[in-house]
Structure 1
């Protein structure tokens, strides 16, 4: 009989070899207590958090926590139903209104996760006979949405405007076309040339979906993301985002100005057939989103943190994913997985938690130490982090 798990044997062997020498499991870290948006107890010691995507530090905001407690007391722990049955509470409508206000758009749909937002919108909008043109480095949820919808998928080289245009021009005339881009790509922390890409997409009759998961709340004058920052938000048909990054809780969403958008509530399977978010979660998201509308000072501080850390690591001799800081993500490129894991553990021993990212999630088979900064990191913490990287880099044989 065929062992259905045999396809995982190479990964099992890789993990076994990594852990056999006493290496802490970099993919099984347990936080024993979270003290703040930037500090937790890990392995019994106080650890600076530099791998949480908590970009704006909203997880411990007093107003956010208070709104969640109030909703929990008034509406209970869960909805036990889909949004199209008994799962829409007043809080779900409130958070959708907050999203419309935040983005200046007419329509918003909230999903139970950001993954489901991509899965649902992409698979519903682009189906059999339609074409999806997307960046080869797109997130797994985007690829899975393409597969679920059964559209023809046409990938192009990362951030390559010319390659995207060539693929659009090859699509049969009259076919439905959807271009999918990301504002910030989460592995290297680089941004897309959205303005030019969206122009090309529109010239070729395509609709455009932009995933702003890693830029919402932080990039752009109002925190609306890279499309706002590049002055092309009005040309985007669908913006996908998540509550699990800058908003500080969990959930996903899509905002749009399309006049027929509301019909998606009845035809989008990952929306129709999933239980809605608990009242306490949508309440925290709503409060957080409305506070992010007035978070200019926090955005400015986060940019300073990003510039300081990028320069410090680059000056120390580390190879980074971008030449200049482009987002709150700074990726440090490792020679291979084994030395990347050793460096990850050396940092943890210093009291610093980062993400170890490996193929196939990473582009070009790279192993990365991915750092995601927070607006609540102090300037002193960032300087401390740079020192930790230098010492760990020497200990793991990455520097020198």
Structure 2
């Protein structure tokens, strides 16, 4: 026998009756094979051979404009951010090799959490290894068996997975529907623990939530509120704190979740809160306790980026709004159908007739020298196929004009417009 309990030395031979655990993926395997057989380049396996700046990279040997990276504030090549990472690499080495509750808390992790507390003006901050783990950890820890999580049907996969991991009762409601949310909360048994989970900006269509009204409803029913500001941090709000700040309700939010992989320009996730008992989360939150902490170079770049966004983010935010307005109007004028009637965030989603033509349009744009995201069901709402554009504060006015020309030529070639 091998060291594993009850494990044989050799795996059992497969028989004709052995179920294939991959069978559930057969429709997706066939769909992908059909796309590739039609001569379309794999839209989910693009390789960037070299990244030149926050807005350009070499893809397939071509200088390509990047319009699908979530690098909203363009911090990935900021000289101060890069220098901070290099210095931390020299001073602390390449990794921590441990959990935050063991040997994985370095001075840089504390400094990063201090930067977050200052950025949001909150008492507590907790850094995770990814944004996905932040949602997974916080939701599953505070909402367990017997508790209820009321969430928007279009919530991110990490939110749904956090609910499942915690084994709470999941109560979804129609996207951005305040009345539906109110009714769901009203049906929850008296005295049960209730958590309402919302997102500031929803990543597929780029639309924002009516947080002011929704948070008022949640509080009326005695629910705690968690808002995921992954796609609004750094950009939306007077200080870049997100949609809750923009709508004047940040003080009414119990937990704010965010990520470093978008406006901050590196990788990692976090939760900030004013709850007086929040620090116990460091001992009871499994995705925090049982995973290695971020490398010192990563938390150094994150802390530096966050502080720069506090100090100098205003002009970047203003320019990014101009980019978003111009691209949204330009695509609308060309005849494309967009996910929102007006620009609400740095995401502009272009609705495609179906997956096949969406993939063809994606490839036509790539050949023009433009990279966007091809988003398909089931990740998208209402089974839509989307070309999702995410603008950057470093996109120049000239680049936005070039992008519109690329969309016009590709759209006509594929007969979308």
* TM superposition score normalised by structure 2: 0.96
Q: Quote the residue 1:253 is aligned against.
A: 270
Q: Quote the residue 1:85 is aligned against.
A: 102
Runs of 4+ in 1 over 3 A off after TM superposition: none
**2:377 equivalent among 359, 363, 368:** 359
Aligned length: 399
Q: Quote the residue 1:338 is aligned against.
A: 356
Q: Quote the residue 1:373 is aligned against.
A: 391
Q: Quote the residue 2:297 is aligned against.
A: 280
Whether 1:309 and 2:327 are equivalent positions in the alignment is yes
What is the distance in 1 between the residues matched to 2:37 and 2:92? 48
Whether 1:383 and 2:401 are equivalent positions in the alignment is yes
**2:314 equivalent among 296, 320, 326:** 296
State the 1:240 CA deviation. 0.1
State the 1:21 CA deviation. 2.0
Q: Quote the residue 1:158 is aligned against.
A: 175
What is the distance in 2 between the residues matched to 1:21 and 1:11? 16
What is the distance in 1 between the residues matched to 2:227 and 2:298? 24
Whether 1:320 and 2:320 are equivalent positions in the alignment is no
What is the distance in 1 between the residues matched to 2:211 and 2:409? 38
State the 1:365 CA deviation. 0.2
Taking only aligned residues, the RMSD between alpha carbons, in angstroms, comes to: 0.3
Q: Quote the residue 1:6 is aligned against.
A: 23
Q: Deviations over 1:82-129 (max 9, x none)?
A: 000000000000000000000000000000000000000000000000
What is the distance in 2 between the residues matched to 1:317 and 1:179? 38
Q: Quote the residue 1:123 is aligned against.
A: 140
What is the distance in 2 between the residues matched to 1:240 and 1:390? 37
What is the distance in 2 between the residues matched to 1:163 and 1:211? 20
Q: Quote the residue 2:215 is aligned against.
A: 198
State the 1:46 CA deviation. 0.1
State the 1:259 CA deviation. 0.1
What are the ranges of 5 or more consecutive residues in structure 2 without an aligned counterpart? 1-17
State the 1:397 CA deviation. 1.1
* TM superposition score normalised by structure 1: 1.00
| Structure 2 counterparts to residues 91-106 of structure 1, below 5 A | 91-106=108-123
